[in-house]
């Protein structure tokens, strides 16, 4: 059984916990990880869960994953 995520976006705090690093280290890693920051209503940045995990699993962005890889990630994260 997978991780079963019910979140669609991570915050900086979520990513710091997931990657076990500080915010300054995370800010250096994000551009290299090809994870896009998204802003809603001018608020704090959020990061799509699928972007983060596609990079961690396949070392590429979500939109570069094959249909099979996308399906595997969805099953892992959302228990589809």
Q: What is the 3-state secondary structure (H, E, C) of the chain?
A: CCCCCCCCEECHHHHHHHHCCCHHHHHHHHHHHCCCEECCCCCCCEEEHHHHHHHHHHCCCHHHCCHHHHHHHHHHHHCC
Indicate the CATH number of 9-78 among 3.40.50, 1.25.40, 1.10.1660, 1.10.540. 1.10.1660
pLDDT the model gives residue 4: 46
pLDDT digits (tens, 9 = 90+) for 44-56: 999 999 999 999 9
Contact predicate 47/37, CB 8 Å: yes
pLDDT the model gives residue 11: 93
């Amino acid at each position: 059984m997978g991780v079963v995520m019910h979140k669609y976006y991570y915050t900086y705090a979520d990513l710091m916990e997931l990657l076990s690093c500080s915010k300054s280290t995370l800010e250096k890693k994000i551009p290299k990880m090809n994870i896009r920051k998204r802003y809603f209503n001018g608020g704090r940045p959020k990061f799509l869960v699928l972007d983060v995990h596609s990079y961690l699993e396949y070392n590429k962005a979500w939109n570069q994953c094959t249909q099979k890889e996308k399906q595997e990630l969805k099953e892992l994260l959302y228990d589809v």
